[in-house]
Amino acid sequence: MIEVSSLAKEYGPIRALQGVSFSVSRGEVVGFLGPNGAGKTTCMKIITGFIAATSGTATVDGKDVVTDGVDVRRRIGYLPENAPLYSDMTVSEYLAFVAGVRGVPKDAIAKRINDVAMTVGLLNVLGQEIGTLSKGYRQRAGLAQAMIHDPEILILDEPTSGLDPNQIVEIRELIRTIGKDRTVILSTHNLPEVTATCNRIIIIHRGRIVADGTPDQIRGKHGGGNTFVVELARRDGIDRAPSVLAGLAAVRQVLPIERAEAPAGAAATATFRIDAAGDADVRADVFDACVKSGWTLVELKRERLDLESIFQRLTLA
């Protein structure tokens, strides 16, 4: 549905985008994630035809965003970070105006307003002036204007910016609902927002894509090595644990993390980090070794960096 190839954008000496390439399939909900100044908004503006790229191409459903710009705009609904709202209009007047600009047939405008207002939860404020709405309802009005012409693609730039926690949850639920039958790109620097609403994440940093995949794929690729943490307990014989564990197939290294001495007669505990080769899952072998050695297995888990730590690692370099 969206194909971006070697996209670059320069503002004088500033290189906002440096060879960005990615594709988005029909029906995907993609989080475009990066710190402030990473190039997210610039990329979104190029895809939507608001600005031109210095080099590279972007197509929407096979249509070039430059040479077929009008056709591309028909397929896209765009919510910029600062929604283009007219505070002296009522919600209904504003949506009717946008519908007219978007080419919605006059005899279909009233139904489109009602349908979109029902989807985003605006029915009870259609007659209210936008300037009197709360921030959350103004953001809903911005979503409604992006959807009024029933586009196949929605591009949302920081859709929860400035909202309180309850409003953020409401907007996330809306995006999840909308994403069931549309292609959505959600541009943000807010990691919880992406993990709550998207099935794929693209991380951009300093104008370059540094990660792309599902949350699990990103954790697997960027979450560190194939490591496991095991905590054992036994009254005696626990000193043999490192050598026993190191002798297991696919185990490359066993590193002590913590040792807790116990009072006389009580079980001592010890925690180790196990580095395994490749993608080998050694947990079953560790369990068997514990049973044979008479150790109590207190805890055994695969150790992965969480997405927040991965994001920091990728964007603080």
User: Tens digits of per-residue pLDDT, 262-280?
Assistant: 555 566 788 998 989 887 8
User: Does the structure show a pLDDT above 60 at 75?
Assistant: yes
User: HSE (CB half, 13 Å, CA atoms) of 12?
Assistant: 0
Q: Convert the pLDDT of each residue in 77-88 to its tens digit.
A: 999 888 789 999
Instruction: Return all residues near 98 (Cβ < 8 A) that are at least 6 apart.
Output: 145, 148
What are the helix (H) ranges across the chain? 40-47, 69-75, 91-101, 106-120, 135-147, 165-178, 191-197, 215-222, 241-246, 283-293, 307-315
Q: Convert the pLDDT of each residue in 210-262 to its tens digit.
A: 999 998 888 878 876 788 999 998 867 778 899 999 999 999 999 988 766 65
The model carries a pTM of 0.76
In the chain the domains, ranked by start, together with CATH numbers, are 2-213 (3.40.50.300), 227-305 (3.30.70.1340)
**What average pLDDT does the segment 4-9 reach?**
96
- Which has the minimum average pLDDT: 160-164, 244-248, 286-290? 160-164
**What average pLDDT does the segment 288-308 reach?**
88
**What average pLDDT does the segment 163-171 reach?**
85
